[in-house]
Amino acid sequence: MRADEARLAFSNFDAWTARSTQHAELVAADVTAAQAFLRRLDLALRAPDALNIAIALRLAADLATFDDKMAASAVALGTPIAAA
């Protein structure tokens, strides 16, 4: 990808996120929840995934992911998955 194509892709992505997503700040409670999720041996979570699930739970938001393992863990934790 050329630099001008990359800039256009970033611009399109930024425009989409501005109109279609909600920005959420990470709070200490999210880190605490994510730590608890990571200690669950029945879940196959990575730290960034656990943080995203914790934030979605706090906001009562549906989680959008293409990662099947993350989605399964999210569902096990009570987080709804956004429909494709």
pLDDT for 1 equals: 86
State yes or no: pLDDT of 15 exceeds 90: yes
| Residue 52 and residue 63 in contact, taking contact as beta carbons nearer than 8 Å | yes
- Confidence class of residue 84 from pLDDT cuts 50, 70 and 90? low
- Confidence class of residue 22 from pLDDT cuts 50, 70 and 90? confident
Determine, yes or no, domain membership for 5.
Answer: no
Determine, yes or no, domain membership for 6.
Answer: no
**Residue 74 and residue 70: Cα distance in Å, rounded?**
6
Q: What is the pLDDT of residues 28-81, one digit of tens each?
A: 999 999 999 999 999 989 999 999 999 999 999 999 999 999 999 999 999 999
pLDDT for 20 equals: 84
Domain that holds residue 74: 25-84
